[in-house]
Each structure stands twice: as C-alpha cells, then as structure tokens.
Structure 1
Amino acid sequence: MFCSKVRQQSHLCLRDVLSNFQNSPLLSPLSEYIFERCILPAADDPTKGVKPLLYILDALEKCLPILSSEYQTSVLKYFKSVLDMSQPRVTRRITDVLMLLCLYPTSEFSPDALLELLTSFARSISSNEMSLSGDGMTVTVRLLDTGINKVYSLNKQICVSELPTFFNALKDVLTSQHEEAICAATTALKNIINSCIDETLIKQGVDIITLEENKKSRTSGPTIIEKICATIESLLDNIYVDVWDRVFEVVSSMFHKLGSYSPYLMRGILKNLEYMQKLPDEDFPFRKQLHVCLGSALVAIGPENLPSFVHNLNVEAEDLSEANIW
C-alpha cells in the first residue's frame, strides 16, 4: 500500500514537472529522457513480468497528453509492439491511456500512429484474437468511437479509408451477447455515421452507381460508402435478429445522413424493410422500431417517392386504424 501511494505521488509530481515545461524548448529533451530512460526499458526484461510496464502505463495515463507531440507519437508506436504481448491487463491499461489521450483537447500527435492502433483493435475484435470479456469489449468499442472521431478531426482522408474496417468490427460486436458492448457498438456506429461520413464521400458512391445505371462500364471496385452501406445491410440478416431493435437505430441514422441519396445506396435495405413490413406480428416483435426506421426513410426520400421502393405502407388508407403513421 505504501509503495502504491509513493508511485501515485511520483506520477503526479512528473505530471506537474511536465506541465511547467509546456511551451518551453526544454519540453522535447525532457520528453525524450522520459521515453528512453523510463518507458522503453519497462518491457525489456521479461523476467520481471508485466508489473514494471503496468506502472509506466499508470504514469502515462497522467502524463502522455503533456509530453511533446513528437514523443506522444513515439509512445503510440511503442504501444503497437507492447500490444503484441497479448497481456489482457496491459491491453486494458493501454486502452485507458489512449481514451484519455483522445479526449485531451490539445494533444498533438501523428494521427497515423493512432489510426494504426485503432485498426489493430478493430481487427482483433473481428478475429477474436483478444478474447475480450464483456467489459473489455465495451471499453474497446468506446475507444474506437472516441478515437475514430479524433483521427477524423486530425486527418479526414486517412480516417475515411479505414471506415469499412471499423464498421465491420462494430458489426461483429452486435453478435457478442454482451448487452453493454452491444449498446456501445450501436452508439459508436451512429456517431461515426454522423461525424465521419460527408457529402463528398456520399457523392463518390452515387456518381459510380449513376454511371452503371447509364450503361457505362465500371472500372473500379466498391467505393467506401458502398462498402459501409453493404455492412449496414448485412445487419438485417437473420443472424442479427436478436438485436434488430438496435440495428434499426443504425439504419435510421444512415437514412438521415444520406437524405435524398438513400435510394442509390440503400436500395437493398429498402427491400429488406419491405419484406419485414409484410411479416405477421407474431413472427416480428420489432414492429414499432421498424416503423420508426421507415419514418426515417420517409423523411429522407420523401412521401412521394418512398412507396415506389417500399409497398404496402398504407400511408393514405381511409381507415386510420389500418394506416401506418410515422
């Protein structure tokens, strides 16, 4: 207990020293000293186990955002090799450090280094390499949510290129049977749709689809937005039936984002919604959520256009008890 209190106090003292050197030319050499003399040696001696590394990660939780930008990036690159140790306690501590770094408003580091870590976490979720507990999966999903938005704010172009990877990872979480992780993944999907998909990305997909409809040959593979929409469409497969109430929230967010472009990119989803609309109530417990989702489609596409994609809507039924009103 005494040693723990001493360590905590030393971490606070280190943070105070670094804070006093902000905007000083001495911050970089001080950061270099901390990185090379304290951080790097922590994982060098495997006979000592992971405790020295955990102590350093505790210190970085308080100090990483106020290291010089150069050494913030160096630490992020160092984390990549440390994650290869596949130590659950170390991995969890790194996610905590990264979350705080992403939330720190003035942190300045290479977005490429953070993106590499985030894609590593995402691919580990999809391949189940980390064997995460429900709590660990929830923390990782929240890191992806926060981290993706941070990378996007620093460098939109490199972030957008990896969006399909993140959507696929979050899709896999929805089948995890961990309720808190499922809620976090739903929130993350909606946040990424709202924050990281812009009109330029949407129009790239629409332009390609329009060329195809005009009988012109396609010379490239699916665009990023097409890949994302395909992932969202796959969430309406029967394997996700237990979480369709969450899925409809994600689909609604996509309708809101795409607006009038929805028929170009969400045609398969509209067909699925039409099929679900015809299911008897006893076979379909998510009728209310489906109608909310169809309401989002109605707003995006317009009441004059939606019936041409989804039939049997009964929006103009004379008997109001038979009409679907959103």
Structure 2
Amino acid sequence: MAAAEAGQQKRAEENDELTIKDGDTDICQQLMDRYAKSSAAQHGHLVATAAAMRSILVAESLPSTPPAYFAAAISSADSTVNSPATDPVAVSALLTFLSIVVPLVPSGEISTEKAREAVTVLVSLIDRDEEKLGVASLRGGVKCIGTLLIGFCNLDDWESLDLGFASLLKFAVDKRPKVRRCAQECLEKILGSLQSSTVIKEASNTVYASFKEYKPVLAELSSSRIDEGSKVDLSLKTQNAEAVYVLNVLGVAIPFISSKLRSRAFSELCNLMASQFSLLTRQILKAMEVFFANSRDEISVPEIESIITSLTGYLSSHDKNPSDTVVQATILLRSALEKLHLVDSKLCLKKLPLVFGDLAGLLTSNDDTASQALDVLKDLINRHVDKDIVEGCLPFEGEENVADGNKIGATKSVCAVFESILDSCDAIPNERILDVTAILIDKLGELSYVLMRNIVLKLASLMTSATGDACSLKHLQHCIGSAVVAMGPEKILELLPISICADNRSCTNSWLIPILKRYIVGASLGYYIEHIVPLSKSILQTSRKAHRKKLQACSHELMELLPAFCNYPVDVAQNFGSLAKLLVKFINKYPFMNEAITLSLQRLVNQNKSKLRPKINPGEAKTCPGEDNTSELESENRYSKKTSTKNIKALASCSAELLQSLVDMFTGLGTEVSSDFKVNFLHIFCNFKLYN
C-alpha cells in the first residue's frame, strides 16, 4: 500500500506542468475541478492551499483574480518564513500554487517594489526548506523567481535583480535536472532582456565569478579522459558535477555578457577544450554552438581564432574521440570560418589549410563523421575557393603568401592537403575523398592544371594500377572526368599523353579515352582536326605494321571522340568548314565512323538551334534525337544567341558537299543501318535543307 502511494506521489510530482486557463473562471475552482478525483497527496495539498487562499480573499472581500491570489500567497509565504517551524508539505503546495498564479498576473499588476519583496520572500523560503522540497515544488519556486524578475522587477536596477539572479545562478548548477534546466532558461531570458550597460556589467561579473569559483576543478576535469558513453551524473562528485554544469550556464550567458568578460571567459573556455574527449567536451561544444547561434555581430577575431584552434586540435585526435562530438566540432568549425571571413578575410585564408587538413582527415572515418566532413568541405570550397581571385594572384608564389593572406597561397596549400592524402593511398581512395577532390578541381577550372596537376597524375597512376571494385573505379573515373571538364582535353592530354609505347607496341593511357568520350565539353574542333585525328591515323598505321588489333581499336576510339568534341565546341564558326571536309573523307574511307558523324552533326544542330527556338517548359521532355545530356542550365550558359546564329550560318554554308556525301552513304547502306542512324540522318537532312 505504501509503495503504491509512493508511486502515485512520484507520478504526480513528475506531472508538474499545470496549465490553468486565464479567464473568468476562478483559479481555485479550476484546480478543484481538475484534481477532484486524484488520490495523489500532492494534489490534495495543492487544492487545500488554493482553498485557503480563496478563503482569505473572501474574508477580505477581494476578487478571485490572479493578482489577488498572488498577494495572498506571498503574504502566506512571508508568514511561513518568519515562523520558527515549517511544514515542508505546506511549503511545497504553496510554491506550486504560486508557480501557477504568477504567470497569470497581467503585466503591470505587480509594482517593481512588491515584485522585489516577493523575490526576497521566495528566495528565503526556498533556501530554508530546499532539501525537504520535492523537485516539482522546487522547480515551481525557481520559475516564480524568474518570472517575477523578468516580468515585474526593474531590469535597469541591479539591486532589484541581485538576490534573485544569484539564486537562479545557484540552482542553475543544481543536481536535479528539471530544477537546473528551469533556472538556466530563466537566466537566459533575463540576460537577453537587459538593456542597461551597468546592469549587464554587474550580471556579467556575477556569472564570471561563478565560473572562476570552479576553475580549479574544471582544469582538473579537462585533463582527465573518460570513456565514450560515461554518464556525468554517475561519474562525478557533487562539486565536480556543479563545475560541469557551470559550463552550461556560461554557454547560456556568453552571447549576452559584456564583451570584455565574454572574451576572457571564452578564451578560458577554449583552453579547457582538450584534444581528447573529457567530461567537459560536450558542454564546451554546446557553449560554442549557443555562442554562434545567438551572438551579436561584434564577435572579435581573438574569440574566433581561439575556437578554431580548439576545434582543429580536437579533430586532429578524431579517432580517439566520440563520433557525435567530432561531428559537432566539424559543424562548429564551419560556423567559425564563416564568422572569421566576415571580420578578417585574410586571416580566414590563413586558417583554411589547417582546417582543410583536419577535415580531410575525417573522410576515412565512420559514415556519419565522414559524411558531415564531406558536406562541410564542399561548403568551404564553394565559399572560399574562387578561381577568379586566384588567377589575379598567380604571379605570387610561395608559402609566404599564406601568411599574407594571398588567395593563391592558401589555395595551393589546400591543394597540397589533398595531394598528400592521395599520395598516401596505395589503392583507389574512398568515394568521399574522390568527390571532394573532384569538387575542388571543378571550382578551380582551368587553373587546376597549374595547382592540381600532381593530383591528376596521382589519379592516373591509381587508374593504371586499379584494383578496386567497379563502384570505386566509377568514382575514380568521375574524378578524372572532372579534370577533363575543368582543364579541357588539350591540357589533360599534355599531362597524360596517349601515345604508342615502343617496348610492347601498346597504347599508353588508352584508359583515358572512354573518360574523354563522356566528359569532354566546350572543346575545340580545331584540336580534334589537328591533333586527335593525326594521332589516330599514326596509331592505325602502326597497328597495320605490327598487326596489333588493340592498337587498331585504340585508333578507332580516338577518332570516335568526334561527338564529344562536338559537345558545345568553342570554334564552330571558325573550324566547321575544315571539319566538314574531313568528314566527307571519313564517310568515304572509314565506314565505322558513320554513326559517330551523324550523332555529331545532330548534336551541333540541336545545341545551336535550341538557343534560337522558343524556350520549352521546364517539365517538357526533349524530343529531338541525338541531343546530349548536358544540363539545361549549362546549355543556357554555353552559347549566346549571337554565337548560335553564327554557328548555324557556318553549318549551313559548309553543308552542301557534306550533305550529298551523307545522302550517298545512306542510300548505299540499304538495310544495314540502325533505326537511330536513320532518325539522326533524316533529322540532319531536314535541318540542313532548312538552313540552306
């Protein structure tokens, strides 16, 4: 029986969020209606207290309003404080009743002087019976103090706030979680409401003094490593637990306290951030998170620099630290760089290589950590790597440029980070390393030929000795493909030339041809005519002499790069005439090129015609055969209307002989032709006739 009653009491205490309607209905009557059938002793005491307060109001002919109930309850509390002996049960019920009434009192209905006196009474009452009170009642008393301070006391007079603020600060490190959280929430609201510089200074000094009191304990705890998953409440003595909780208070207060003390406190907080996980780590990270989420714009450089130093130090030991804290540190590091970029962009550049190095080291961690690191790295590359600015800095080389904040120096160092990672790989790196490398290449564009050539050479080395699975190989090919897009085929083939190996009469770097076929865009028709075709013919001649079918296949594959070079080429107006003459020879001499020729011509027509025709709806499917898979947005940016007009004129003016050769070829093939070939041919024929 006793156990059952104790269970009821506990459940009643846990259900301490009492909602009372603020209207015409008497508060006492609402409580009676709500708890009439409850057998919990706590509810019975609460209803009895409410009835006693109503009796006082009736005896004095006062209305049953929240202000009147508040005055009666505070008077009763004051009498209790002054009595030699108190009943903890009665005090608990009185505090709970006050926690219900005070939020219902309209603004201005309690004078600042009466509110100050009420806070004094409540602090005395709680301090006297603190250890005898239940969690719900104690939490209700703390909530009352906070509500009175915020809503009714003079926020411009520190003497009106001093006692209550100190009490909230005390309970903000209480061992009981509900009490502790309530006090911290009240402190945050009060600090966020302060306007007077004098009061802010006093409140700041009070918070900082509380932090300083626990500094020796905090210093000891920061150097004590604990195992992941340890519970703070179970592994700490009372004083140590309070020291940990004071960091939560500091985290709440930091955005609002005076700039001088904030800088000092934050510096000391960052110094407590050890490179390995401690009992303080999560509290410190939370404080940093709150700081960034709520801080005003005037964050100082030393504050941000301290955060970056602490976070990078922690990430450098990521393999020894809990993954959730590593993820949180990664997110905070991004926020820190964003803040630093706003106040000191040169220093931000100086920090980039260090940050990139630590984040890149996370790409081989578990999935959650690595995924978060990848997202942050992508974001940092997009925000801080700017090829236009870097190009302006190209004459300046050397590591000293990093210290000076020059973009080229920082970018070179970032590239060196990924070069180092790839150099340490004996096999194909994981997908995330390749993805972020590809993004960096893409961001640097043509400049990647200067800054990332060693990375491309390493990728090629991994490709030639590839031992990974098909998925890994696909990601490696995509990364190299990004280099093809960024640098263009001319630069890529300078770095990775396709040639005949004299030793075994094989074709070096032939693995690159399928990648070129897929990723070439915006290349030069002239380069295809002057370099690719002669190279193909040279390899073909060697294959005939050496009777090597693999060389012949390589030659054909090179020549069949024609459609790739016709994917938004940059020199249609200048070189299509020469290409048309070459294609006439191809039609007559190389039958294997027939489909490649029709696809290439169709692509040239479609890509230029699309710029001149009315725009289709976003959801409308492309119906023209032979269209490439270049995104609509990219195609919009490739050609201007003026360029497309010139290109169409060039296609039309040089098409007569080519069109006749196509007709002869088509009629000569008879039934030995695919349906796609027929469709492409007919489309080309109609378009060329249209423009002639």
TM-score by length of 1: 0.81
- The reply on whether 1:170 has 2:359 as its aligned counterpart is yes
**Equivalent residues in 2 for 1:128-277 (5 A)?**
128=317, 131-176=320-365, 178-199=366-387, 202-203=390-391, 206-208=394-396, 223-239=409-425, 241=427, 243-277=429-463
- The reply on whether 1:91 has 2:281 as its aligned counterpart is yes
Q: Compute the displacement of 1:273 (Å).
A: 2.3
Q: Compute the displacement of 1:192 (Å).
A: 1.8
Tell me: higher relative CO, structure 1 or 2? Use CA pairs within 8 A at least 6 residues apart: 1
What is residue 213 of structure 1 aligned with on the other side? Answer: none
Q: Quick check: 2:387–2:447 contact (8 Å CA) kept in 1? A: no
- CA deviations on 1:151-176 (whole Å, 9 max, x unpaired) are 22232122221222212212322344
Query: Which structure 1 segments of 5+ residues have no match?
Result: 210-217
- CA deviations on 1:165-188 (whole Å, 9 max, x unpaired) are 212212322344x22111122222
Higher gyration radius (CA): 2
Cα distance in 2 for residues equivalent to 1:227 and 1:307: 25
Q: For residues 56 and 228 of structure 1, do their structure 2 counterparts lie closer, same or farther at Cα, with a shift above 3 Å needed? A: same
Cα distance in 2 for residues equivalent to 1:151 and 1:219: 21
Cα distance in 2 for residues equivalent to 1:208 and 1:285: 40
Cα distance in 2 for residues equivalent to 1:319 and 1:281: 28
- CA deviations on 1:113-172 (whole Å, 9 max, x unpaired) are 22223223313432x399312222222222222222222223212222122221221232
- CA deviations on 1:31-71 (whole Å, 9 max, x unpaired) are 43234322222324568653122212222343322333333
- The reply on whether 1:101 has 2:273 as its aligned counterpart is no
Aligned residue for 1:206, secondary structure, equals coil
Give 1:142's aligned amino acid: I
Cα distance in 2 for residues equivalent to 1:240 and 1:76: 43
TM-score by length of 2: 0.41
Give 2:322's aligned amino acid: S
Q: After the TM superposition, which parts of structure 1 deviate over 6 Å for at least 4 consecutive aligned residues?
A: none
Q: Quick check: 1:236–1:244 contact (8 Å CA) kept in 2? A: no
Q: Quick check: 1:124–1:130 contact (8 Å CA) kept in 2? A: no
Q: Compute the displacement of 1:4 (Å).
A: 2.0
Q: For residues 292 and 69 of structure 1, do their structure 2 counterparts lie closer, same or farther at Cα, with a shift above 3 Å needed? A: farther
Give 1:90's aligned amino acid: L
Cα distance in 2 for residues equivalent to 1:107 and 1:19: 15
Query: Which structure 2 segments of 5+ residues have no match?
Result: 1-13, 15-134, 136-175, 221-236, 403-408, 498-509, 518-556, 565-628, 631-692
Aligned residue for 1:39, secondary structure, equals helix
Aligned residue for 2:430, secondary structure, equals helix
- How many residue pairs match? The answer is 314
Aligned residue for 2:394, secondary structure, equals helix
Q: Quick check: 1:35–1:71 contact (8 Å CA) kept in 2? A: no
Q: For residues 230 and 102 of structure 1, do their structure 2 counterparts lie closer, same or farther at Cα, with a shift above 3 Å needed? A: same
What is residue 215 of structure 1 aligned with on the other side? Answer: none
- CA deviations on 1:16-45 (whole Å, 9 max, x unpaired) are 1112114x4235414432343222223245
What is residue 193 of structure 2 aligned with on the other side? Answer: 20
Aligned residue for 1:106, secondary structure, equals coil
Cα distance in 2 for residues equivalent to 1:147 and 1:219: 24
* RMSD over equivalenced CA pairs, Å: 3.4
Aligned residue for 1:50, secondary structure, equals helix
Cα distance in 2 for residues equivalent to 1:62 and 1:220: 40
What is residue 78 of structure 1 aligned with on the other side? Answer: 268
- CA deviations on 1:75-132 (whole Å, 9 max, x unpaired) are 2112133235966120121112212322336353213222223223313432x39931
What is residue 29 of structure 1 aligned with on the other side? Answer: 201
Q: Compute the displacement of 1:221 (Å).
A: 7.9
Q: For residues 62 and 161 of structure 1, do their structure 2 counterparts lie closer, same or farther at Cα, with a shift above 3 Å needed? A: same
- The reply on whether 1:11 has 2:184 as its aligned counterpart is yes
Q: Quick check: 1:174–1:243 contact (8 Å CA) kept in 2? A: no
- CA deviations on 1:274-303 (whole Å, 9 max, x unpaired) are 223334566664222123223322332234
